[in-house]
Chain A
Amino acid sequence: LAKTTQPISMDSYEGQEVNITCSHNNIATNDYITWYQQFPSQGPRFIIQGYKTKVTNEVASLFIPADRKSSTLSLPRVSLSDTAVYYCLVGDSNYQLIWGAGTKLIIKP
């Protein structure tokens, strides 16, 4: 059975790079790993998605090792507005969606 593990919370400062790692065993071999951001009183919002190696878009990078047992979301030069909860989402071998418990990221001035 697939399971995801993320740090419960993280603190950082404006301008720093933040890396959040999600561990995920027994995920589907050909499914994407996706990260979402959620602000209070809002639904989750897509950040980035990848299958393997490295993916970069205008807001983040995603690093996925060859064994796909983890993934690391990298947020460059964070600002106060990046304070949110970040979730990783994977599919298990039955293609059921497995959400992590989320990482509460707090950015300080």
Chain B
Amino acid sequence: EAGVAQSPRYKIIEKRQSVAFWCNPISGHATLYWYQQILGQGPKLLIQFQNNGVVDDSQLPKDRFSAERLKGVDSTLKIQPAKLEDSAVYLCATIGQGATDTQYFGPGTRLTVL
């Protein structure tokens, strides 16, 4: 079974620029999360999708962050404009079938904002 795919793996931009991250979940996984992980900290949930609907986006800075999951499969997370404090690893995770809610994570995208 293929894992969660994310791209790009690394991105360096200047502040005020825009950036987008892409996540391709494991086939059939309906629940998808985007996390922000700042160096030395645990993951912080940004948004949760169930199929193509948003379940929880309470911690998403909506003035600059947006996410979508068209057709309930791939998802993109966008930051516009980026700030220095957005430098972090952005992780995508998905949940498969069953009641245990085990999350499967992608390798993450490391964003550096200069």
Contacts and interface: CB of A to CB of B under 8 A. Distances in A.
Given A32-B101, A34-B102, A97 B45 contact: yes
A92 to B, nearest CB: 12
Contacts of A46: 102-104
B43 interface: yes
Contacts of B33: 97
B14 interface: no
A99 B42 contact: yes
B70 to A, nearest CB: 23
B41 A101 contact: yes
Interface in A79-109: 87, 96-97, 99-102
A97 B42 CA distance: 12
A70 interface: no
A33 to B, nearest CB: 11
Given A32-B101, A96-B56, A43 B93 contact: yes
A8 to B, nearest CB: 10
A42 B58 CA distance: 26
Nearest to B6: A43
A101 B42 contact: yes
B11 to A, nearest CB: 14
Interface of B: 4, 33, 41-45, 56, 58, 91, 93, 100-108, 110
Given A44-B103, A99-B42, 17 more contacts: A32-B101, A41-B107, A41-B110, A42-B107, A42-B108, A43-B93, A43-B105, A44-B43, A44-B105, A49-B100, A87-B43, A96-B56, A97-B33, A99-B43, A99-B44, A101-B42, A102-B42
